[in-house]
Amino acid sequence: MKTVVNILFLSMWLATQSASAQSDSFVIEGNDGSKIKASPLAVFDSAWAMTFLPDARALVSEKSGDIWLLSQRGEKIAKVSQSPNVTPRGQGGMGDIILANDFTSSGRVYLSYVERDAKDDSLSGAVVERAKLTLSQDSASLSDRTIVWTQSPKVTGNGHYSHRLAISPDGYLFITSGDRQKFNPAQNMAMNLGKVIRLNLDGSIPSDNPFVGSGGVASEVWSLGHRNPLGIAFDQQGNLWTHEMGPRHGDELNRIMRATNYGYPFVSEGEHYNGTTIPSHASMPIFQAPDLAWVPAISPAGLIIYQGEQFADWQGHAFIGGLSSQALIRVDLGENAQGADKKPKEAARYEWGKRVREIEQGPEGAIYVLEDATGGRLLKLEAMKQ
């Protein structure tokens, strides 16, 4: 009898929580006139990344090092135990978390975070781990943790780690590695800073990587000349896209191509923070120009390419979180267009006065966004009913 009462109470409580979230819902109108319904689900302390599990529960990482298991309704269930020890400083801390493509059978996940140098605490760099995630109804834990990639070298400062992760349709691990605010490493093939990295899922080097014959960390590199790429995603055609923050304005959206140099710090669509001009991509066509650039800056963070049914008219569009722009930005990638219209262009901007750190597509086709900083909310974005 007691069990039945408890189940009844839990059901009533969940219904109340759901109704409460709906009552707090609000409407966001884009600058194109389109409207989205936003429902707050949970609150986090500097959330950084999110991924959905096959059962529609989710994981959310916080920069402090905590990883949360969420219910199917977006409520916090428990912290994931045995997660890495992280010392957050500046832009660094816990980073991305994604599922392996065989997660259902293997339970494997990949996660990134910032590691301090054991002999010199002023030095740091990002690492990527592969681990096994064990789940129960009300708990989650990590085990068999193995580092599969290390940002090299560790350097001073606490910015531009990037460390966003994606697995390609053909089963390779891609990692964005920022320039660590050091500029020239983005062009230095003796370092894996300022690069997009491609690895086998166990961390080994694919034999067909473009610079594999050079040895060292150059063998990891897929593309170079990047500044601080904080979003990475594959589209339905298998094309790889990243965005990155420009120096002062000039934020970029790039289709990433094998062995291609995107030019930073030699070229940019922005300028240095002290006002010094940086040559544009057009002035040095040997470097690949961005598919889309923003002046003034949007400060992009988080990236999905939407494939759901709920916003059917936006299938194939990119959604980018904006930090300084305090917006969710929708970009028509133009992949279904013809001729001159094929170039990506900003289609709409949705603003509600909050910095947007992360975006994910839910299994039901809704879009989920994580607001930045302490007290940032997880919002579920749904199409407005006619």
CA-to-CA distance for 325 and 289, rounded, in angstroms? Answer: 23
DSSP assignment letter at 277 = B
Token digits for 145?
């943790």
* pLDDT for 339: 67
* pLDDT for 15: 42
Between the two ends of the chain, the Cα-to-Cα distance in Å is 44
Cis amide bond preceding 153, omega within 30: yes
C-alpha torsion 25→99→220→196, nearest 10: -10
8 Å CB contact between 113 and 95:
yes
8 Å CB contact between 64 and 373:
no
* pLDDT for 23: 56
How many Cβ atoms from other residues are within 10 Å of residue 214's Cβ?
Answer: 13
For Cα atoms 207, 148, 176, give the angle at the middle one, nearest 5 degrees.
80
* pLDDT for 341: 72
Cα 202 → chain centroid: 21
| CA-atom Rg of the chain in angstroms | 21
C-alpha separations of 353 from 39, 108, 322, 324, 356 in Å: 15, 37, 11, 10, 9
Strands 35-45 and 374-383: antiparallel
List Cβ neighbours of 63 (8 Å cut-off, separation of 6 or more): 45, 46, 47, 48, 86, 88, 92, 93, 94
List Cβ neighbours of 364 (8 Å cut-off, separation of 6 or more): 56, 308, 310
CA-to-CA distance for 274 and 131, rounded, in angstroms? Answer: 43
8 Å CB contact between 362 and 16:
no
Residue spans of the chain under pLDDT 50:
1-22
* pLDDT for 335: 78
List for the chain the helix, strand, coil content (%; round to 5): 10, 45, 45
H/E run at residue 197: strand 195-199
* pLDDT for 342: 83
List Cβ neighbours of 12 (8 Å cut-off, separation of 6 or more): none
For 272, half-sphere exposure in the C-beta direction (CA atoms, 13 angstrom radius) is 11
CA-to-CA distance for 12 and 59, rounded, in angstroms? Answer: 25
CA-to-CA distance for 339 and 124, rounded, in angstroms? Answer: 46
| Residue located via tokens 């884009």 | 30
Q: What is the DSSP secondary-structure string of 132-151?
A: EEEE-SS-EEEEEEEEEEE-
Q: What is the pLDDT of residues 27-48, one digit of tens each?
A: 999 999 999 999 999 999 999 9
249 catalytic, yes or no? no
| Residue located via tokens 């002062």 | 248
Give which of 173, 15, 18 is closest to 108, Cα–Cα: 173
8 Å CB contact between 89 and 136:
no
List Cβ neighbours of 386 (8 Å cut-off, separation of 6 or more): none
* pLDDT for 4: 42
For 69, half-sphere exposure in the C-beta direction (CA atoms, 13 angstrom radius) is 19
Q: What is the pTM of this model?
A: 0.93
CA-to-CA distance for 171 and 63, rounded, in angstroms? Answer: 27
CA-to-CA distance for 23 and 345, rounded, in angstroms? Answer: 35
